[in-house]
Structure 1
Amino acid sequence: MSEIASVSIARPLSEVSEEIGRSFEEYGFAVIRDHGIPADLIAKAEDLSKAFFALPDEVKRAYHIPGGGGARGYTPFGTEKAKDASVHDLKEFWHVGRSLCEGHPLAEYMAPNLWPTEVAGFRETFEELYAAFETAGARVLEAIALHLGLPQDWFAKTVEDGNSVMRLLHYPPLTGADAEGAIRAAAHGDINTITLLLGAEEAGLELLTASGEWKAIEVPEGALVVNIGDMLDRLTNGKLRSTTHRVVNPRGEAAYRSRYSMPFFLHFRPDFTIETLESCVDPDSPHTRPEPISSHDFLMQRLREINLV
């Protein structure tokens, strides 16, 4: 069995697309280096994320939107749970989404952002980071397009003004009560197109291999972990795998300190129809493919399953 690819996307994509694509087909994951997100911007964002989560609970909860599906603002500890899980994950998080101009045709799908006034520079920093994530994600999608035999810019229109969400994640230090069957993030697959994750250097992120074994993901400092989401899995009829993964509780000293990370869930446009690519249809079983569905309808279906709607 080959290893999860660790690839620099500063190289010409024609040289790395097959290695990235092979890793996404086999594991659903790849490690992306030289992604172009500035190290000083990442460091500043990490500091501001920690500053927000250090605020008193009542201050953070003022930014929670009941019934909002967690799409914007704060989601308290113990709210989200993985599909089919019996207990909630041990995390709290903040969501930053796309800011659309008034009257934008897709505004009905995307609520306005919230910005905490207690943390100076929060809005400016995370709007800059959101844009940097989009640029890096577009580069990865270009590599995927080449691997699939599509024009390099094939995905550009599918994700233009997409409903992408950046999540600031805090896994608090564990307590004795956390041993009752819950883990920091239970086994799950991501809903979206691709996920780009910053802050996975600390041990805990694991994926489920095709043989049914949990495999830890080794990540160099500053690199992105990128994985395929259910929407792209559906588009490619399973050629690119949306792999089950989890964040396990650490042992020893690490259990008594917080863990932070910042995943960017890159989404198709809400009005994009997810319909199997012709190149991914099995010629021997042409009818064995999922039904077309809009990315918005698919998203809402899945949000209901994980207790956010």
Structure 2
Amino acid sequence: MSEAVTAPSATDAVVVPGYVPVIDFSGATSSDPARRAAVGAALDEACRTSGFFTVVGHGIDPTLMETAIDEVRTFFELPMAAKERYLAAKGDPTLRGLRVWHNQGAGYDLDTINLEGFVEDPDSQEYARARRPDICELFTMNRLGEPGVAEGAGLGEHFDVWSKPNVWPTEVETMRPAWLALYTELERFAQTTMRMFALGLGLAETHFDGIIDEHLTNLCANYYPAVHGEVGPEQFRKMPHTDSGTVTILYQDVRGLQVIDRRCGEWVDVPYVPGSYVVNIGDLMALWTNDRWVSTMHRVLVPPPADRSVPRISMPFFHQPNWNALIECLPTCRVDGEAPKHAPVLSGEYLEYKVMPLAA
């Protein structure tokens, strides 16, 4: 008599359970299909619950991230007069270069804030009360901004906008190679994540491969400068928001990220594990999964007074499918006769819709 085969359990890949579980990703690249299936099951469970999980066993060389952060820290520590040369153009949806949401100077003085030109996120109107802008600087690059890459991305009439070159600071000559090396590793990690998503959704493991092979992903650095002065209840380093794409892969050098617990409506800390990556789904996954996976609000608070004099850097990789990828309800995410809850949309058009408020 042959032995019964036990179906992989999501718990096989979970290191620390919880609302935001810690998941071991080493099984995602295993030759054993049962281990890969266990990772997929764990991601499905996490995405149904919080839409967030912390990844260990990712296989990314830590020196790549450390070097990229060191390089961009050198840039952020330049005088504002020097950094202004690299400001992203107003109205440019690519956001390439620098965006600044706080007053100029070393550190951030909450008593001398200038609100002129600040634009609230229209997708977060419930948080758009009278308040000060985020205490944040953002530097952005995209693979499409590197020489020759955009030509194969199927951009069509959108080519002139989305092929604009990346803005690399001449004061930090080694920043570009450091970021490109990291970008390559994060591309690999994102592809693996999408393959595990496919398994979790009952699809062929390579289902998304041809939809993300010319992706539109931004790699960014969030710089949260030192804070001086009193902080009100509506002051954030990053206001409550959701992300727009498929998946965000985030490295944070210290704790500080919070996510809303949808079970009780309270904010909870995302587990901080040194060397790990925090991964969360974006708004596109709700369209693909018919609301099986829905993105969750998250934020970054101003830290307690004892820690406010220390700047913080985090690096998110905002994964976005190919421009012409049609995002529509997956066949495994609705039963026969059930209508999709969202209209189909092209990935690139959806991206432009989401980022234009930031570019204003």
Q: The residue matched to 1:169 in structure 2 has which SS?
A: strand
Q: What is residue 9 of structure 1 aligned with on the other side?
A: 25
Q: Is the 8 A contact 1:197 1:262 kept in 2?
A: yes
Structure-1 separation of matches of 2:82 and 2:351: 29
Say yes or no: does 1:65 pair with 2:88: yes
Q: Secondary structure at the match of 1:303?
A: helix
1:190 aligned residue: 243
Range 173-182 or range 226-235, more displaced: 173-182
Question: What corresponds to 2:58 in structure 1?
Answer: 35
Higher Rg? 2
Q: Provide, for residues 151-181 of structure 1, a one-character-per-residue CA deviation record: whole Å limited to 9, x for no partner.
A: 1111111111111000011011112265373
Q: Which runs of 5+ in 2 are unaligned?
A: 1-16, 31-35, 103-117
Q: Distance in 2 between matches of 1:203 and 1:169?
A: 14
Task: Report the Cα offset of residue 55 of structure 1.
Answer: 0.6
Aligned pairs, number: 306
Give the Cα separation in 2 of the matches to 1:172 and 1:194.
26
Secondary structure, aligned partner of 1:30: strand
Specify the SS of the correspondent of 2:183: helix
**2:358 pairs with 1:307:** yes
**Is residue 31–residue 223 contact of structure 1 (8 Å, CA) maintained in 2?**
yes
Q: Give SS of 1:184's match.
A: strand
Secondary structure in structure 1 of the residue aligned to 2:316: strand
Instruction: Note if contact 2:329-2:340 (Cα within 8 Å) is conserved in structure 1.
Output: no
TM-score, reference length from structure 1: 0.92
Q: How does 1:32-181 map to 2 (within 5 A)?
A: 32-66=55-89, 67-69=91-93, 71-78=95-102, 81-82=120-121, 83-84=124-125, 85-86=128-129, 87=131, 88-98=133-143, 99=146, 101=148, 103-104=151-152, 105-106=154-155, 107-108=159-160, 109-176=162-229, 179=232, 181=234
Cα deviation code 1:78-133 (max 9, x no counterpart): 46754323442210011010125174343443422111110131110001111111
Q: Is the 8 A contact 1:61 1:76 kept in 2?
A: no
The percentage of counterpart residues that share the same residue type is 27
Distance apart, 1:250 and its partner CA:
0.8
The one-letter amino acid paired with 1:23 is A
Counterparts in 2 of 1:162 and 1:103: CA distance versus 1, 3 Å:
closer
Q: 1:228 maps to which residue? A: 281
Specify the SS of the correspondent of 2:358.
coil
Alpha-carbon displacement from aligned partner over 1:34-83 (angstroms, at most 9, x marks no partner): 21221111111111111010011111111113221352111123467543
1:268-287 superposed matches below 5 A: 268-283=321-336, 286-287=338-339
Letter in 1 for 2:74: A
RMSD: 2.0
